[in-house]
Amino acid sequence: MSEQQIIVTVQGVDKVGIVAKVTSVLAQYDVNIEDIKQTLMQGHFVMFMLGDIEKSKYSFKEIKDALLKTGEELGMEIWVQRKEIVDNMHII
């Protein structure tokens, strides 16, 4: 199932609306959020999300591009990776 899952990482200076903006893009692209963790360390916001793209009519690239654009708009760093790739990086 990990081939249909993505990991989204968001980081940058904390401001109002980060979670709302990122999750609304995921909803618009039919990505189901399966897990979400966030923390704030001395004004620095970090969020990790696990999403399922199985039922999305959009490609991984289309979803990733939309999230990267959202990161630019927010002035935040956003990374989008397939969970399968992250899992395999730890197998040696």
pLDDT tens for each residue of 26-62: 999 999 999 999 999 888 999 999 999 999 999 999 9
CA distance 53 to 75: 25
Overall pTM > 0.85: yes
- Provide the angle, in degrees to the nearest 10, between the axes of the packed helices 60-74 and 18-28: 160
CB of 5 closer than 8 Å to CB of 53? yes
Q: What is the pLDDT of residues 59-87, one digit of tens each?
A: 999 999 999 999 999 999 999 999 877 66
